[in-house]
């Protein structure tokens, strides 16, 4: 938690120094980031020794990946303050998930547990798979289409479906939050699948749904701040 928040402060410092055009201070910030990356690498060794649970190990892997991608994004682009904050918040979200999974494993509650309600057996959702995956989700500023079918499908057909969706939605961005949509196709095969949208707000969700000829009220839409 301490190193994670030091990393957040370093990302914020990188953006501020870049805005002020201070080459000397930028070098100092980059050196500090190198030290923090080394600390995260050391923590990974210790964490893998202590935690056999895949959710915790995958969480740290995603955190390290986001740290590198976010710093590269901040350094290689001239960003508005909203765009920089979006990138830094992406790293913060990964840290929050990692801390939640770690404390849950060792039995340390970070908040009052919600009352359990029986809803019956259910299928594995894209969100379940994301928590178990070492491969991180795309950045919030980047459009993405993900396909996850249970049965093996013709790659050429899958590619055509993906291209069709991209042609309709890839250039769409929320004007209020400057974020792109993440679209998930999941189900049995190309002959029977569902579409789930992950967007920043209801207004943008309605725009993406319309582009895909989906009824927004009936569509599977997840609002991710």
Q: What is the pLDDT of residues 174-214, one digit of tens each?
A: 999 999 999 999 888 888 888 999 999 999 999 999 999 99
What's the chain's average pLDDT? Answer: 86
Mind spelling out the 3-state secondary structure of the chain? CHHHHHHHHHHHHHHHHHHHCCHHHHHHHHHHHHHHHHHHHHHHHHHHHHCCCHHHHHHHHHHHHHHHHHHHHHHHCCCCHHHHHHHHHHHHHHHHHHHHHHHHHHCCCCCCCCCCCCCCCCCCCHHHHHHHCCCCCCCCCCCEEEEEECCCCCHHHHHHHHHHHHHHHCCCCCCCCCCCCEEEEEEEECCEEEEEEEECCHHHHHHHHHHCCCCCCCCEEEECC
Whether 109 has a pLDDT exceeding 70, the answer reads: no
**How many CB atoms neighbour CB 222 within 10 A?**
14
- Statement: the pTM of the whole predicted model exceeds 0.85: no
**Residue 124 pLDDT:** 65
């Amino acid at each position: 938690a301490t190193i994670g928040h030091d990393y957040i402060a370093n990302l914020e410092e990188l953006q501020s120094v870049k805005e002020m055009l201070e080459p000397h201070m930028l070098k100092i910030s980059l050196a500090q980031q190198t030290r923090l990356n080394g600390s995260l690498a050391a923590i990974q060794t210790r964490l893998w020794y202590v935690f056999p649970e895949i959710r915790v190990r995958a969480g740290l892997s995603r955190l390290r990946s986001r740290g590198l991608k976010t710093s590269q994004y901040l350094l290689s682009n001239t960003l508005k303050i909203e765009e920089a904050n979006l990138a830094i918040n992406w790293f913060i979200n990964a840290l929050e998930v990692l801390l939640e999974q770690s404390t849950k494993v060792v039995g340390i509650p970070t908040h009052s547990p919600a009352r359990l309600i029986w809803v019956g057996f259910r299928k594995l959702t894209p969100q379940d798979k994301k928590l178990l995956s070492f491969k991180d989700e795309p950045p919030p500023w980047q459009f993405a289409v993900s396909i996850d079918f249970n049965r093996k499908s013709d790659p050429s057909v899958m590619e055509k479906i993906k291209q069709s969706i991209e042609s309709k939605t890839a250039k769409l961005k929320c004007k209020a939050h400057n974020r792109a949509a993440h679209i998930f196709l999941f189900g049995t095969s190309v002959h029977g699948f569902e579409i789930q949208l992950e967007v920043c707000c209801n207004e943008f969700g309605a725009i993406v749904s319309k582009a895909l000829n989906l009824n927004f009220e009936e569509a599977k839409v997840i609002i991710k701040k």
